[in-house]
Every structure is written in structure tokens, then in C-alpha cells.
Amino acid sequence: MKPIFIPLNLSSLFLLIVTLLVAGESAPIYSPTYNITLNCGFSGDKVSAYDFQTWTGDINSKFFPEAVGGTSQVGNAPPSSSLGSYVPFTTARLSHSEFTYRFPVSPGQKFIRLYFFPATYNADFDSSKSLFSVKAGGYTLLKDFNASLGRIYYNSETLLTEFCLNFEPDQRSLNITFTPSQGGYAFINGIEIMSMPTNLYHSAAQGDGASYLGSSDSRYLVKNNTALQMIYRINVGGNPVSPNEDTGMYRTWDPPDEFFLDDRSKNLSISRRYNTHLNFARIFNYTAPEEVYRTGRTMGGNSTINKSYNLTWRFPVDPDFSYLVRLHFCEIDPNITAAKDRMFQIFIANFTAEPQADIIHWTTENGIGNGIPIYRDYFVPMLNLGTQKKGSVNISVALQAYQDDYLTRYNDAILNGLEIFKLNDTDGNLGGPIPELPNITPKVASESSRNSKKKSIPMLAILAGVVSVLLVVSVVGFLLFRRGRKVKDSNSSKATKWGPYSFSTTKSTKSRGSSLPSDLCRHFSLAEIKAATQNFNDVFIIGVGGFGNVYKGYVDDGSTPVAIKRLKPESSQGAREFKTEIEMLSQLRHLHLVSLVGYCTEQGEMILVYDYMARGTLRDHLYRTENPPLPWEQRLQICIGAARGLHYLHTGAKRMIIHRDVKSTNILLDEKWVAKVSDFGLSKMGTTTLSKTHISTVVKGSFGYLDPEYYRRQQLTEKSDVYSFGVVLCEVLCARPALIRTAEKKQMSLAEWTKTSHRNGTINQIIDPNLRGKIAATCLNKFVELALSCMNDNGSERPSMNDVVWGLEFALQLQQSAEAMLYSNVEKEGEDEVALMKGNDAGMSCSWEYSSDSKNSRTTKTSSDEQISTTNESMKGMSGTIFSEIKDPTVR
């Protein structure tokens, strides 16, 4: 380690003692020959309790940044209970203009680490407006970057980004330039530049390189002119490894890998740890900490179960980049000592990476022994995916146990560690949004586990008490300061004009005289919106419509995901629809309606901000999708939720609201699959008197869902929404679009095709094949009857949305009663297993029969508080078959 120089005062002496106790336990395996740790916005030297390195302040240092077009400022971070209370996160360098740090560098490969604590440092630097790019060594490291997005990673206040760059002998200096995006500002808390062992991640000139997945018998060399960004570094099956527990390079190995496992792998796999003696005969001992190789994740102890699934991790990454994936292996189980004891297959991003992985065979010459670490590198191109799928894509890592017992002793697989690096594109760019993690609440490593090996030092309690008092005083002062700023800001406002509309907006959540209801929803500044979407980066697009693009973003310092809809400037009716949607949704709050969070009206923009719906649209789960098919009962629950939302619009508000654009893409699903009706840009207020039963208006809506009576007469009623919802019910049942212009005439309109098939008695032939044998016959009859009644040509003969809700709830009860009756007659095997009778292999009828002697009955309650008793009598005429017979469905 490099020497530590600290002014001899009490607190510094204490930190020095703690540092020596922790870091002095064992000498580092690798000692950097070049190491700069710069504490931005600070003066002097200070030892960090985060990694126990000495950090030098940038004020009056030889690295002091040069500002372009302005001057930078320094700021103290607000009090923090997390890593933000440690150097280098306590101070920051901030600027609304570009600034550059200059460092002398020696030749060779280096780590560059940038430390961020996104916080509101003062009134001029609100964290929600931080948006900037970073360039270094001829590469774009970060582009339109919002550090607040780090909160979605580890549920942590701080963010660390790490890069690997090579410097040639003629490169004497390194410039790191921070450039704010328009309307935003740039900041940095800490910069670390550290040498690394030669070719730790880059390929040796004559080395083997990485296996090029997707290209047979090909290797990929990570050359010295390649820049890498560390995306994931994980101790698989083990606890996080803090920087001071690394091999001397201060890398952090976290978070726990179970966050990335699919559900089955999470439930079945097992974390392992053995105190195996390690022999670094195949790789350098600084490659990864010993703790990484002593822990691992295996498939489990049951070979039969292991054969039935793949142990699978999914790691979200940016599309249109290539990646270096490094897998760390070590056989640590004392029972596995010979080649072929444990053989398995490895698949990465659906490519076959290893058809016969055998760690003992890789690491020993005679095929005997264990405890020998090794790693394998794979080059994974994820190119040309941006046009196919917006947002992040997944690099999957799947381990498959060998199915043949005679080839291996254990039907199992193991992985000990994993690293994933992004490689720069042809323009030298690494910039991209932080990939979206699975919807999880990560466990955050405590400060003690990150910073030390949990030594018990009595003086820590004394120091903690002093620090706590100082923090309380700081928090009170900070809150009083913020309160004063809010009073001052409440007087500022701005006017924006579009065509016939003039909107007065304000920074306050409440305003007087505004034509938009800012007292009921929030007004966002354009800088906040740009920071939330990384300057409207296409990778964040989650939907595209006639209104414009919809982006996923994060507000409130990255803690809140939202959907951001941005109006196209050329939209002819955009301003009117924009105003309508704000006025409608700001007054509506219902479980099954999408909530409006706020809007933005700066610089000619029209932007709406909604609650983010994690599951997307209903259509995303019906057809033209890679998502697994929804179970029938779940489809019914979604339909019921959407119907309740429409029923509230028709009857629950002060005045009837007619949606006018009901379709499967306007029914959104949240994380818990709760359906919510969205997109109120075309909505109309209904009539308030009995003397006027309709609204005369220009026809608006979507073809395939449009009420034919409304189209003919141009008279809008709430029954027009009922017709459109009937088409949605057909989509749910048949899993095909409402309109296919390329299909033959009789199948072009789903509504007409459903009606024709019902008349011909061939309705089973157009149902989604994934529902074969899974719909109770009584439920199917009720559902089809309801859908057809909704699509009646005569609007007055269609049911109300209240009747639709009742009918769908009844259909669900029929389905549940039939399933209960079926399962009550099937013997249970084990505590949680149910044996189901299956249809024959020819794809014929899945006729699940029930006993005619069964006396089971089930009483349920409808939304109208009526009692419905379902008994065997309700199944008469079904020839003993509870579930529908669907044979050889035709092409949908």
C-alpha cells in the first residue's frame, strides 16, 4: 500500500489506528505503481472510512480543474446515513459550465473510477437537474448521465463508475472533462486513477483472447485501444467483498447474485462456501479475492430436479454494444476431485459457450485435485438490437446439468464469480443509460461489511456519538434553509404559449390563476425531465404512438420510476389533447386508472409524467411478444380491473367521462398485474341531463375498436366505450389484433370474425391455442356471451359497464368453481403436489371430467351482493366435461 500521511490531530490519529488495524491484517497481493485519489471540493488530505485510502483535496492542488465559459464551485453534501457520509462523498465539485482535470500519467493500463453522491448541494445545484457527459483519453465515458439513477442499482445514495483504459508511452497526461447538458449541471465527488496488472482484462498481444460467441472457433482480442466499463462484478453465492478486502486494486465485488436469478433458480439453487485450500496454479492470485473462489452457487442436491431446469442469471445491459463476460470457477466441494465428477453446459446470451464444462479437467493435468481457481472469457456482441427492442436487453448466463448419468458423477453445475464489461463502440463511446435492474428491493451491504472485517473497537462508539450530534445539527440547519428557499421559489412563474392555448406554469406545486391544474399535479422543469431520461435517450423509449414517444425515467433523485410521454412538435391536435388529459386525470384517482404525476410546459415542450407501469400494456402479453402467455384466470382478473376503471369513468366522477379510445394498448399493467386504463387525450365529458342522451362530435378512435353506430351517426355515448371493450375481450380470448388488414376479408376484423364463428359454432377454433383445455365450458360460454353483447350493433342493447363488471366476475366464479370441483376429485401426492389428468399427445380434447356423484358446491358473492350457488346442476348439458374442448385451432 502507498504510505499514509495525516496531520497529527486526535481524529486523524484515530483513523490512522483503525486503518492500520484493518489494512495491516495481511499485505495486499498487488501493489499499484500509480495511484491518485482526488477528493473533489476539498482542501487537504483525509483518510476515507470507505476504502481506507488517503484522499487528497483538489482545492489548490496541481490537478485543480480549469473551467470553460464559467467557474466551478464546491459544495458540502447534506448529512447522510449511508456511504455518503464517507470521503470522498462528503464534498463535490459542481459547475453549470464545462470543466477539466489534468493528470500526469505513466504508460500502461489503468483503472479510472468516478465517485458520485447525487444530492442537492445548494439552491443552484438541485440534484434533479444534474445531467452531463464525461470524456477522458479520447473516449466518451458517460453521455447525458444522471447519477441519481444509481439509486435503482443498490438502493444506495452513492454511485461508483469504473473504466479500464490503456495509455501509450507518448501519452503524458490525461484530461477528464465534465460537460453539462443544456439546462443541467455537472458534478463529481471523487476521482481515482490506479494502475492495474498488465493484461488483467485486456488481451496479451499473443494471448488466446476471449471466446467469440456466435462465431465458430474464433477468438476476440481486447486490444489496448479498447476502453472497458465495468457493468457487473459479483461474488456469486457469497457476500459482497469491500474494496479493502480486494487483492490490492480496491475493486468492489457486489451485489449478491440472487437479484439476477430467475424465479426457479432462486428457489432451487444453493449458495455454497468451503474453507478449501486454494492453489493459484492456473491464474495470478490477484485475479480475484480468495473469498470469490471459496464461495459459489450450485443447482442443488437433487439430480432429478437439476435436470429439469437451467440455473439462469439475467443481467440487463445497453443494446448496440459488445461485452466481455468473465466467469470465475473453482471446484471447492471436497467430494469433487476428479475430471467428469461434475460436467455441465454453459449458455451465454443464448449462445453455447461451453458444451462440456469440466473445471477439474481445465485446471489439472492429470485430472485429479480441486481448489484450483480459473476463469474463462467470452466476447458477447449485443449489436443491432436497438431497433428491435427499446430499453435495456439481457445478457443471460445459464448453466445446464448433464442429462446423461454415465457422462458425469454429479448432475450439477457451479459458478463462483462473474464480471461483465462494456466495450467502446467504433466512435469511442461507452455512454449509455444505466441498465434497468429486475424489479427487486436489493439488500444493501452495511457500512461495516464494506469498510472492514467487522473489528470491534470501543472508540468507534465514542466517535459515532460525536458524529451523530453533528449530523443532527446539520440536518436541522439544512431543513430550515430548504424551507426558506421554498418560500422564495413559490413566487417564480413562467408562461408558455402553443397555438390557441396559453399555459401559465410555476415551480411551486400550487399556483393561482394557472390554466393548468398545477394545484392537483406537479409541474416539472425541462431540466428535471432531461435528467430523468438522460436527454431523451432512445434507449429509454418504452412506447411509441401518435402522440409521440414514451420514455421510462426516474425522478426524485432516482428513487421513483415514471413514464414520460413527450408530444411530437408536428402533432396537429397535440395541444388540445395535452390540455384535456391534464384536466381529466388531475381530477381522477382510482385503483384502475393510471395516475398523472405531473407535466412539463417549458421551451415549447408538452410532456406528461405518469406512474410507471412495470408490466407494460395488455397487448404486450397477448400477441407479437416474447412474453409468456397469461393464464386464463389472470386474463379475467385484468379484464375485471379494466372494466371497473371504465365503470368509474362512466358513473363515479362528477360528470360522465367517455374514454373514446379503449383498446388493449391503453390498458396498462403494474408490477402486481393490476390493470389501469390510460390515455385520456380523446376523452369527452358526457351529458348531464336525461333530455340529451348523446354528444354530437367528430369521430375519433382507433380502427378495429370503433363503435360502428358512433361512426355512422357521429353521436357519442358511453356505450361506444362498451363496444370497444367488447373487442378487447375478443383480443384477450383469441390473442390476435383487432384488425389485420392483410388477412382474408372474413378474418380482417376480429369483432366480425368472432360473431361469425359464434353463429357457425366454431368459436373454439379461433381461441388462443395456449388456452387449450384450460377454460371451463360454463366460463367460456359466459365470457363469449358478454363480449358479443358488448359488440351489439345497436348501442341501446349493449350492457352498461356495471353489467360488464358483474358478468366478468361471474365468469371468474364459474372458472374457479369448476377448478375447485376438478381438484376436489384428484388425489394429492405429497403436501403441495396435485396430479392433473392430461389430454393425449395428439393435441386432442383435454376433457377434464368430474364425478357425477359429487355433492360439492361453492357459494360466492357478486358485486351486486347476490348469492350465487354453483353446483353440479349448473354443469348439465356439458356431457360430463367441465373444461372446454378445443381441437386443432386454425391459424389466427
Q: Rounded to a whole number, what is the distance in angstroms from the first to the last CA of the chain?
A: 68
CA nearest 578: which of 432, 689, 680? Answer: 680
Say which range, 314-323, 519-528, 585-594, 859-868, has the weakest mean pLDDT.
Answer: 859-868
User: Is 567 within 8 Å of 490 (Cβ atoms)?
Assistant: no
Average pLDDT over residues 263-285: 93
Q: State the Cα angle at 537 between 536 and 540, rounded to 5°.
A: 95
The model's confidence at residue 409, banded by pLDDT at 50, 70 and 90, is very high
pLDDT-based confidence at residue 190 (cuts at 50, 70, 90):
very high
- Greater model confidence, 495 or 169: 169
Q: Cβ contacts of residue 590 below 8 Å, gap of 6+?
A: 645, 648, 652
Is 746 marked as binding a ligand?
Answer: no
Residue 294 is placed in which grid cell? 471459496
Do 854 and 872 contact (CB within 8 A), yes or no? yes
Residue labelled with grid coordinates 396430479 = 835
Residue 137's pLDDT is 92
What contacts 457, CB < 8 A, 6 or more positions away?
18, 21
Average pLDDT score over residue span 410-439: 84
Residue 652 pLDDT class (50, 70, 90 cuts): confident
Q: pLDDT at residue 486 above 80?
A: no
Give 555-596 as a DSSP string.
Answer: ETTTTEEEEEEEE-TT-TTHHHHHHHHHHHHTT---TTBPPE
Does 439 or 436 have the greater pLDDT score?
Answer: 436
What is the per-residue pLDDT across 226-240, written as a single tens digit (0 to 9) for each?
A: 999 999 999 999 999
What backbone phi and psi angles, to 5 degrees, belong to 524?
-100, 145
Is pLDDT above 50 for 461? Answer: no
Query: What's residue 367's pLDDT?
Result: 86
- For the residues 183-190, what does the mean pLDDT come to? 93
Integer Cα distance of 496 and 514 in angstroms: 11
Of 703, 767, 701, 759, whose CA–CA distance to 732 is shortest? 767
Range of lowest pLDDT (1-5, 655-659, 720-724): 1-5
Instruction: Calculate mean pLDDT across residues 624-641.
Output: 92
What percent of the chain shows pLDDT beyond 70? 74
- The answer to whether the peptide bond before residue 32 is cis (omega within 30 degrees of 0) is no
Q: Is the pTM of this model over 0.85?
A: no
d(CA 423, CA 202) in angstroms, rounded, equals 11
Of the candidates 179, 59, 58, 80, the one whose C-alpha atom is nearest the C-alpha of residue 130 is 179
Q: 661, 679, 707, 768: which is the annotated catalytic residue?
A: 661
- Per mean pLDDT, which range of 431-435, 496-500, 557-561 is the poorest? 496-500
Does the pLDDT value for residue 815 go beyond 70?
Answer: yes
Residue reference for cell 477439474 = 360
Q: What is the mean pLDDT of residues 66-95?
A: 85
Instruction: Give the rounded distance of the alpha carbon of 686 from its chain centre.
Output: 39
Phi, psi of 709, rounded to the nearest 5 degrees: -70, -40
Identity of the highest mean pLDDT range in 156-165, 503-512, 742-751: 156-165
Radius of gyration of the chain (CA): 31
Distance CA 716, CA 528 (A): 39
The CATH architecture that domain 617-875 belongs to is Orthogonal Bundle (1.10)
For cell 386525470, the residue is: 585
- Dihedral sign (CA 354, 358, 359, 365): negative
Question: What letter does residue 162 receive in the DSSP assignment?
Answer: E
pLDDT digits (tens, 9 = 90+) for 29-64: 899 999 999 999 999 999 888 788 999 999 989 998
Q: Give pLDDT, residue 363.
A: 95
Task: Respond yes or no: is residue 768 known to be catalytic.
Answer: no
Average of per-residue pLDDT across 143-171: 81
493-612 maps to CATH 3.20.20.70: no
Write out the DSSP string of 746-807: HHHBHHHHHHHHHHHT-GGGGS-GGGTT-SBHHHHHHHHHHHHHHT-SSGGGSPPHHHHHHH
pLDDT for 469: 46
Cis peptide before 255 (omega within 30 of 0): yes
Confidence of residue 442 (pLDDT cuts 50, 70, 90): very low
pLDDT at 284: 95
pLDDT at 455 over 90: no
Residue 589 pLDDT more than 50?
yes
Q: pLDDT tens digits for 535-552?
A: 888 888 888 876 788 999
CATH topology identical between 251-437 and 617-875: no
Assess whether pLDDT exceeds 60 at residue 102: yes
- Given a contact cutoff of 8 angstroms between Cβ atoms, the answer to whether 165 and 454 are in contact is no
CATH number of 251-437: 2.60.120
DSSP 541: E
- The H or E element that residue 9 is part of is none
Which residues fall within 8 angstroms of residue 806, CB to CB, at 6 or more apart? 862, 863, 864
Class of the CATH domain delimited by 10-195: mainly beta
Domain borders along the chain are: 10-195, 251-437, 461-489, 493-612, 617-875
H or E, element range at 36: strand 35-39
Residue of 331, 242, 247 lying closest to 285 (CA atoms): 247
Chain mean pLDDT for the chain? 78
Lookup: cell for 865: 351482493
Please tell me the distance from the alpha carbon of residue 176 to that of residue 490, in angstroms, as a whole number: 38
Q: Per mean pLDDT, which range of 19-23, 48-52, 497-501 is the poorest?
A: 497-501
> Residue 201 has what pLDDT?
96
Q: Above 90 in pLDDT, residue 263?
A: no
User: Using CA atoms, how far apart are residues 785 and 793, in angstroms rounded to an integer?
Assistant: 14
Answer whether residue 892 shows pLDDT above 70. no
Please state whether beta strands 560-567 and 607-611 pair in parallel, antiparallel, or not at all (unpaired).
Answer: antiparallel
Q: How confident is the model at residue 789 (pLDDT cuts 50, 70, 90)?
A: very high
* DSSP codes of every residue in 811-841: HHHHHHHHHHHHHTTS-B-SSS-B------T
pLDDT value of residue 422: 96
Q: Could you tell me if 414 and 294 are in contact, meaning their C-beta atoms sit under 8 angstroms apart? A: no
